[in-house]
A and B are shown apart, each in its own frame.
Chain A
């Protein structure tokens, strides 16, 4: 355990906002990671509020009713289902919508973890999208072949192989970083686009994994019935909620345990805070980079596998470049302060935002869904922008503290 290696690095809530600014952490990603973990839950809440306010302003300026629109989006998320007084038809609709929200939240948790784990190790994983795609390619391949395999074995095999493929894909960036010092930001961006084109090749016309039955459509074979993840809430015919949600929740726990209760996690955090010090302390920094990236890829690959086996069941080449789940993981991790609980909350927020503005859930009479999905991008962009500016939010926070005299600075 970590005791053998001396005192814990100053991570977690103990790290004050000021310490994050004066910053010991050596790498930019670690500096950012330390900052986003400072200041408690207030900073992300403020950030999100700010972004939604600005989004409302956009609506107002373009001649829409911000309150009515946000209300319609909120209805589209189905979150009213949790309120006990929602009843009758409203409750049925809310349940359907909430299932959609949680279906999107599931991969967002996982791609969020893929980014968050890297951040804690002082690495930037922009490659969540590529790892997600590779995971989904392998999962759809395994899930659509081997039809004689028993259901449970088939599902486990597809999920595990998808996750491993994502891990291997991400490990390329880790190995390049560890051996030749290649910047992981650049290499993961390149790997994203290589993954996109691999997908276009595999499932495109004449590609090796293109559908056997629809020869003129660039689409994969369908996942066989027995390899689909079971639906535990709602009607499987109407895209009910699949058990992938539990896989994502389990991943959250695994993330927390690895990071906070294992030697590996201790090393990961130590390397993230200061790679030189960690190296001096006898840790193998290079090995850590590979390990961290592989684990990140594992999470993202899992997201791809769960999406394909849970509700998409096939991959069409048109959808590959349009997919944004992996990129959104960056926003999820940043807003969630790279913690397990934060990632869950942020994934739920963004999941709700995506499903609340989707064609299926948003009432077109109030606001055009296509317009709304672009509003979503604006809000997400603003969230990331505000999160990026540590000085801005911390200054706001300090100003706020000065305005509230009875809650004067609690930390040094």
Chain B
């Protein structure tokens, strides 16, 4: 048994402690949950002493949360619980919330792995959201709309790239400018084209994928059987980017440029070209996340509709330690907390609201390094000057 395995077992036990107190199992006494939670905390402490710091603390935290949650669940009414905790619906909602975050987080990873900070993700998402639906409306095809949105995001990425790479602008300031510009451009074109009425209802949308055999199976069907096409594309994107970054020579070069541009340049990698490609790709990916909001999920656009999702995506990048799989896990976690917040009002409106702050608090804890420091690429944020 490695310490990591013990840590993961602890996390699993902590989840299980709460799970058995919820529908469908609904154990109505807290004792079994507490026993399992104590085991989870014990596993966490063990992992901690064997050196798996992050996982150890994680398991302890999950154990404590599981115990508290289980006790709270056993004390609240069964009907309330059954209203809130419908696992298949929660998972479907989690995927819906996680999709835009995942796309944008992938964009953030590509850009930051190449050494360019991208806090303009929010703006690039917004471009994708508006120009995606605008394009779909004009061309009558969601696919062309998606491509137009991706192009708009990529164009903004190009601006960010030109300023932060060629003109050696401060990347944070340039990103801030990107966000303001996107807000202004999308708002301006939206209002001057659609006015107060907003986008029409019959804009073509990206289709949902009905999985043949699975969609009728109980539980799994409602959960993943009818997810949007873009959700699947995001999941494929995660796997694709992970393979690209860690298994291909080009991915290695991209990471080298972000860790030590001078060394990469010495062995013949073009730092400038790599960063340009990475930042433009970042804009395209973030725009896909934005386009999911408008032409995948809602079928409409309103000003500032991304509402800070670009920054949650940034949080997912950091929380996931600049790895696609980690970012996906973070996006799913953040998506789940949003999904839960959406259903919690059955209990208490204000508690549900506080839940929405969870991604930001977790990220703050992650950058603080209490549970193992998140480590960014070494050269991130530094302009590259050729010698």
A327 to B178, CA, bound (A): 13
CB of B355, distance to nearest CB on chain A (Å): 9
A371 touches B188 (CB 8 A): yes
B192 touches A62 (CB 8 A): yes
A191 to B365, CA, bound (A): 11
Contacts of B163 in A (CB 8 A): 385, 388-389
Q: Please choose the segment from A102-110, A151-159, A182-190, A252-260 that sits at the chain B interface, where 4 or more of its residues have CB less than 8 A away.
A: A182-190
Interface residues of A in 355-369 (CB under 8 A from B): 368
CB of A373, distance to nearest CB on chain B (Å): 8
Chain A facing B: main interface SS = helix
Q: Which residue of A lies closest to B123 (CB)?
A: A381
Tally of contact residues, A, Cβ under 8 A:
60
Contacts of A390 in B (CB 8 A): 167-169
Contacts of A186 in B (CB 8 A): 314, 318, 363, 367
Q: Which residue of B lies closest to A55 (CB)?
A: B184
Contacts of A391 in B (CB 8 A): 167-169
Q: Which residue of A lies closest to B303 (CB)?
A: A374
Q: How many A-B residue pairs have CB under 8 A?
A: 169
Q: Which residue of B lies closest to A191 (CB)?
A: B364
User: Is A382 among interface residues, defined by CB-CB distance under 8 A?
Assistant: yes
B311 touches A193 (CB 8 A): yes
Q: Which residue of A lies closest to B167 (CB)?
A: A389
Q: Which of B173, B188, B191, B373 contacts A334 (CB 8 A)?
A: B173
B167 touches A374 (CB 8 A): no
B367 touches A176 (CB 8 A): yes
CB of B158, distance to nearest CB on chain A (Å): 13
A387 touches B173 (CB 8 A): yes
CB of B195, distance to nearest CB on chain A (Å): 9
A321 to B360, CA, bound (A): 15
User: Is A17 among interface residues, defined by CB-CB distance under 8 A?
Assistant: no
CB of A44, distance to nearest CB on chain B (Å): 14
Q: Please choose the segment from B231-239, B286-294, B346-354 that sits at the chain A interface, where 4 or more of its residues have CB less than 8 A away.
A: B346-354
A330 to B182, CA, bound (A): 17
Interface residues of A in 174-219 (CB under 8 A from B): 176, 180-183, 185-187, 189-194, 196-198, 200-201, 204-208
CB of B26, distance to nearest CB on chain A (Å): 27
A140 to B197, CA, bound (A): 35
Jot down 14 A-B pairs with beta carbons below 8 A, ordered by A: A32-B173, A124-B172, A180-B373, A186-B318, A190-B367, A196-B308, A197-B360, A371-B188, A374-B183, A378-B184, A379-B184, A381-B182, A384-B173, A392-B167
9 further A-B contacts with Cβ under 8 Å, apart from A374-B303, A377-B183, are A180-B370, A182-B368, A186-B367, A190-B363, A205-B349, A331-B176, A368-B191, A388-B173, A391-B168
Lowest 3 A-B CB distances belong to which pairs? A377-B184, A381-B180, A378-B184
